[in-house]
Amino acid sequence: MHNGEVYFSHEQALVDEQTQCLELLYDYNQTRPSEAKKREEILQNFFAEMGENCYFEPPLRANWGKHTYLGKQVYANFNLTLVDDTTIRIGDYVMLAPNVTIATAGHPIEPSLRKKVGQFNMPVTIGNNVWIGANSVVLPGVTIGDNSVIGAGSVVTKDIPANVVAVGNPCKVMREIGERDKQCYYKNLQFSAEVSAMIEP
């Protein structure tokens, strides 16, 4: 699963192992909003690593969970899907909007191999302080650099550098994050003096 080569995902040993992971995920998605401690305990057992103060709105979808590594203060809104058949690494202070999909798995274009459930996996890395907008898809093998913003509805097919705004299908860099972003938060709306004082130099 982790060497990038084609394998066949219907093998019974893999199915049995994945079922154990999905049992934990089922438990998480059945928790009540008031059961914050129980949710945290389940996720600590579900993910490979999870830093402090992470929060995931149910429902959460994942193929395995144990192949995903999280930094601290990762926030995911409703309906995050992690196709983590190999490693997904998510840095600190990452924000994931509703209906984001992060996928490591692909299938051969060759039809006869797809009939046999042929699959390959390529890892995905998301840097620190990244914001991924609603209904975006991050495809296998992609790296997104620190501080970058992925606009809503994007399909990220290639690496995105640090400190940029990128959007589209396929996702492309629109511009660098710059001084104007320290002054305006939406179109021409400017930060209040109180908020401006919180901006790091």
Active-site residue (options: 2, 10, 67, 107): 107
Q: Which H or E run contains 126?
A: strand 124-126
Q: How far apart are CA 127 and CA 149, in angstroms?
A: 11
Q: What separation in angstroms does the CA of 182 have from each of 4, 90, 121, 148?
A: 41, 25, 39, 15
Does residue 107 carry a catalytic annotation? Answer: yes
Q: Is the CA virtual torsion 170, 134, 159, 103 positive or negative?
A: negative
Q: How far apart are CA 39 and CA 58, in angstroms?
A: 10
Six token digits for residue 7: 């394998």
**Catalytic residue numbers?**
107
